[in-house]
Amino acid sequence: MAVTVASAPAKIILFGEHAVVYGRPAIAVPISQVRAEAIVEDSLRSGIRLRAPNLGREYWLNEAPDGDPFARAVQSVLEFVTLPNLPDLTITVKSMIPIASGLGSGAAMAAAVIRSLALHLEITDLATDEQVSTLCYQVERLLHGTPSGIDNTVVAYERPVYFVRQQPTNRIDTFSVAAPLHLLVADTGEESKTWDVVGDVRRQWQENPKKFELLFDNCGRMANEARIAIQEGDPERVGRLMHENQGYLRAMTVSSEKLERLIAAADSSGALGAKLSGAGRGGNMIALVEEENEDEVRSSLLATGANSVLLSVLT
């Protein structure tokens, strides 16, 4: 029986979270060391069986609850199938990516499922980076309400991305990294509910548009300056911009006590820069370090209460 496997990486946002929803640029990068994997197998049992062993779930596609993201990822591909009868399949998702931590676990799962199922059914047009990103965005809308579009883009293309949400089509630029960037990703252990945080920022923006438009403008400026610094191989400047960006995120009220403690720990142990990544109010923070002090910063983050610390080297 045929078996098809595809995977997608986690992601982190370096600059521009929240502001990206309002048309400002953002920079995000894949964390290729941490992935979600989807396995599609022909089955002897009638129907399509969905398995998520990490979550202890196994169920039939036609019995999936409304709003189930796994089922929606599968259905997004099947809507394009012109077969007289749907195939009998078992689709298994396994993930190393922590849930609700700002690492794009939902987008990575969806992208892996969409690509593996499209390849298994030999619908090659749907397996391209562009189409996987497009279908993944539809699943993200189910999860997050008004997603920026950045998560699906990064996990589908698996390259550093400069992203601007705009009409009629989003601007998506991949770009090179002139000098390696060593990033430590520290998990606060506090769940970050993207939908809730994004909705609260929208509420504050509606109540005080002048203040928040200025904050968004400044975050967009950070992203533009950071892209230049990354392309010119200037990690010290990237670090300074991370600190400045964190100040604007703090003003949006999306930081937290735990995030601030970890950021302070990274600073005091020699990080070039540190900030939250993603929706905030939990989830992850990131620290830009030099190779020689990576271990010292990691130890400081763990001693301050980080649940785990991942290393991602962008080259």
Q: Which residues are known catalytic residues?
A: 151
Q: 3-state DSSP call for residue 98?
A: coil
For residues 156 and 137, what is the distance between their CA atoms, to the nearest angstrom?
10
Measured distance CA(277)–CA(26) in Å, rounded: 12
Peptide bond into 168 cis (omega under 30): yes
Cα–Cα distance measured from residue 138 to residue 69, given in angstroms and rounded to the nearest whole number: 10
Residues β-bridged to residue 286: 185, 275
Q: How far apart are CA 95 and CA 54, in angstroms?
A: 7
For every residue of 160-216, DSSP letters joined together read -EEEE--SSS-EEEE---SS-EEEEEEE-SS---HHHHHHHHHHHHHH-HHHHHHHH
Sign of CA dihedral 155, 160, 162, 167: negative
Contact in structure between 154 and 16 (CB atoms under 8 Å): no
